[in-house]
Amino acid sequence: MTDNENITEHGLTLVLGGTGKTGRRVVERLEALDVPVRMGSRSADPAFDWEDKATWTAVLRGVERVYLVYYPDLAVPGAPGAIRAFTAAAVDAGVRRVVLLSGRGEDEARACERIVQGSGLDWTIVRSSWFAQNFSEDYLLEPVRAGEVALPAGDVPEPFVHLDDVADVAVAALTEDGHTGEVYEVTGPRALTFAEAVAEIGRAAGREIAFVPVGARDYATALAGHGMPADIVEFLIYLFTTVLDGRNTPTTDGVRRALGREPRDFVDYARETATSGIWKELDQS
Ligand X SMILES: NC(=O)c1ccc[n+]([C@@H]2O[C@H](COP(=O)([O-])OP(=O)(O)OC[C@H]3O[C@@H](n4cnc5c(N)ncnc54)[C@H](OP(=O)(O)O)[C@@H]3O)[C@@H](O)[C@H]2O)c1
Instruction: State the Cα–Cα distance between residues 273 and 80, nearest whole angstrom.
Output: 35
CB of 74 to ligand X, least distance (A): 5
Asked if the peptide bond before residue 46 counts as cis, ω within 30 degrees of 0, the response is: yes
The dihedral built from the CA positions of residue 28, 30, 33 and 34, taken in this order, carries a sign that is negative
Q: Kindly tell me the burial class for residue 259, based on how many C-beta atoms sit within 10 Å of its own C-beta (0-12, 13-18, 19 or more).
A: middle
Nearest to 71 by CA among 242, 237, 223, 232: 232
Instruction: State the Cα–Cα distance between residues 212 and 97, nearest whole angstrom.
Output: 44
If one asks whether residue 41 binds ligand X (CB under 6 A), the answer comes out as yes
Residue of 11, 36, 62, 103 interacting with ligand X (CB under 6 A): 103
Q: What pairs with residue 211 in β-bridges?
A: 149
Q: Which is nearer to ligand X, 7 or 117 (CB)?
A: 117
H/E stretch holding 100: strand 97-103
If one asks whether residue 48 binds ligand X (CB under 6 A), the answer comes out as yes
Among residue numbers 114 through 173, which ones bind ligand X (CB under 6 A)?
A: 128, 130-131, 134
Q: What does DSSP assign to residue 265?
A: P
Instruction: State the Cα–Cα distance between residues 62 and 33, nearest whole angstrom.
Output: 19
CB of 22 to ligand X, least distance (A): 3
Q: Which is nearer to ligand X, 12 or 243 (CB)?
A: 243
Residue of 73, 113, 168, 200 interacting with ligand X (CB under 6 A): 73
Q: Which is nearer to ligand X, 51 or 177 (CB)?
A: 51
CB of 6 to ligand X, least distance (A): 25
Instruction: State the Cα–Cα distance between residues 152 and 236, nearest whole angstrom.
Output: 10
Among residue numbers 182 through 241, which ones bind ligand X (CB under 6 A)?
A: none
If one asks whether residue 74 binds ligand X (CB under 6 A), the answer comes out as yes
Q: Which is nearer to ligand X, 7 or 228 (CB)?
A: 228
Residues in contact with ligand X, counted by CB under 6 A, come to a total of: 25
If one asks whether residue 23 binds ligand X (CB under 6 A), the answer comes out as yes
Residue of 12, 27, 38, 50 interacting with ligand X (CB under 6 A): 50
| β pairing state of 37-40 and 12-16 | parallel
Taking CB atoms, the residue at the shortest distance from ligand X is: 20
If one asks whether residue 17 binds ligand X (CB under 6 A), the answer comes out as yes
If one asks whether residue 249 binds ligand X (CB under 6 A), the answer comes out as no
Pick the piece of the chain touching ligand X (CB under 6 A) from 3-11, 36-44, 117-125, 176-184. Answer: 36-44
Q: Which is nearer to ligand X, 170 or 204 (CB)?
A: 170
CB of 178 to ligand X, least distance (A): 23
CA distances for 37 relative to 23, 86, 101, angstroms: 11, 18, 17
List, in order, residues 6 or more apart from 132 with CB less than 8 Å away: 160, 161, 162, 163, 188, 197, 266, 269
Q: Which is nearer to ligand X, 235 or 280 (CB)?
A: 235
Residues at the interface with ligand X (CB under 6 A): 17-23, 41-43, 48-51, 69-71, 73-74, 101, 103, 128, 130-131, 134
